[in-house]
């Protein structure tokens, strides 16, 4: 199984005094040269007076953007602790039991405009940079990373099931190959996760609570006894959650229960879709 996650927008800085970033220790060291390029360019852009506008963030994030200037010397912590958004909290990625943590290290990749991809144990500083940003030299980051990630991840995903919890911005950086390569390298089974809500018999796509629900699924896939190796295994894992309360809405206090999980075929060369239905 290869489990693909987006980064969280909010990130928790490592404690002062901890060791700084060492790019050579990150997963897939083949990406080091590109990481160095983006890191240096991000520092230059973040030092400009118009840094927040250039990076597509609000002026209220000026302090976070300023941290980008000295990331090479900033304290670093495991990515599972730096990424602390809704999906990561729901998955409990930073507090997995030993067996699940080993599975996560082997199978989870977080996509990043700065690093390309990182594994949960990769030590990184807190930063601010989205995959949709364009830098003066690198250009649009999804396009910048695409050839390098294909070279690394096509081989990693071959013959495996890819569970995709990313948003469209990060999907643009790499799409699993779903047909065999000319040299006979097997394709991947690509499964995207979509969350729906059923109200009065109508089903609509969920945006607000989708990250949380994907996080619940991710945590279950990592903790269950048997690792998912096919799309049907992923469906079975999701169906194990049917009947459970996925979340309780803040404000209303209403429980959202997973009532159904379905696996739908997609377009040629595209992903199959795992639909998770809440009510």
Alpha-carbon distance of 130 to 86, in angstroms, equals 17
pTM: 0.96
> What pLDDT digit, counting tens, does each position of 196-228 carry?
999 999 999 988 799 999 999 999 999 999 999
> What pLDDT digit, counting tens, does each position of 124-167 carry?
999 999 999 999 999 999 999 999 999 999 999 999 999 999 99
Contact 58, 52 (CB under 8 A): yes
């Amino acid at each position: 199984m290869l489990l693909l996650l987006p980064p969280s927008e909010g990130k928790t800085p490592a404690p002062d005094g901890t060791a700084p970033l060492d790019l050579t220790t990150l997963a897939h060291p083949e990406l080091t040269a590109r990481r160095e390029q983006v890191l240096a360019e991000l520092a230059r852009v973040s030092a400009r007076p118009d840094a927040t506008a250039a990076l597509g963030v609000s002026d209220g994030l000026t302090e976070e953007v300023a941290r980008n200037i000295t990331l090479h010397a900033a304290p670093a912590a495991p990515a599972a602790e730096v990424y602390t958004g809704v999906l990561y909290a729901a998955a409990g990625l930073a507090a997995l039991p030993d067996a699940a943590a080993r599975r996560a290290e082997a199978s989870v990749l977080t996509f990043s405009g700065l690093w390309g991809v990182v594994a949960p144990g990769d030590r990184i500083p807190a930063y601010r940079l989205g995959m949709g940003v364009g830098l003066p030299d690198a250009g649009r980051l999804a396009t910048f990373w695409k050839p390098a990630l294909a070279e690394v991840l096509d081989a990693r995903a071959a013959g495996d099931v890819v569970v995709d919890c990313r948003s469209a911005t990060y999907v643009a950086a790499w799409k699993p190959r779903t047909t065999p390569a000319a040299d006979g390298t097997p394709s991947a089974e690509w499964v995207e996760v979509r969350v729906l809500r059923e109200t009065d018999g109508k089903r609509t796509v969920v945006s607000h609570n989708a990250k949380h629900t994907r996080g619940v699924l991710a945590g279950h896939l990592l903790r269950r006894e048997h690792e998912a190796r096919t799309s049907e295994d992923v469906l079975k894992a999701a169906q194990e959650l049917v009947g459970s309360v996925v979340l309780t809405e803040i404000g209303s206090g209403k429980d959202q229960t997973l009532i159904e999980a379905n696996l739908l075929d997609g377009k040629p060369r595209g992903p199959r879709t795992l639909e998770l239905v809440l009510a």
